[in-house]
Amino acid sequence: MNRDNKYCIYLLECADGTYYCGITTDMGTRLKQHNAGKAAKYTRGRSPVNILVKTENCYTKNMALKIEHSIKKLPKHRKVAAIIAET
């Protein structure tokens, strides 16, 4: 990945109803990785996953990681609204 790429923040809904938050520069590729069991350990046994919401690719990696970290600390019912607020 090029360091100049912009990142998006996304929220997935797993097959078991749980949510997973992450960042990427290429949502299509990342979604395929999650569903193939080759992405985050959390989603490996919870596929298929679907995108609930994502931001535009407009964040630096550092900023995207900070936002992702803050969203992961939120209760489930507030995560979607937090990402929508970032768009």
State the residue for tokens 């949502």.
Answer: 27
Query: Which residue in this structure is represented by tokens 């969203």?
Result: 71
**Rounded to whole angstroms, how far apart are CA atoms 7 and 12?**
16
CA distances from 26 to 7, 18, 44, 74, 77 (A): 8, 22, 19, 25, 26
Q: What is the pTM of this model?
A: 0.91
8-86, what's its fold? GIY-YIG endonuclease (3.40.1440)
Give the domain ranges of the chain. 8-86
Query: Using one digit for the tens of pLDDT, what is the confidence trace for 29-72?
Result: 999 999 999 999 999 999 999 999 999 999 999 999 999 999 99
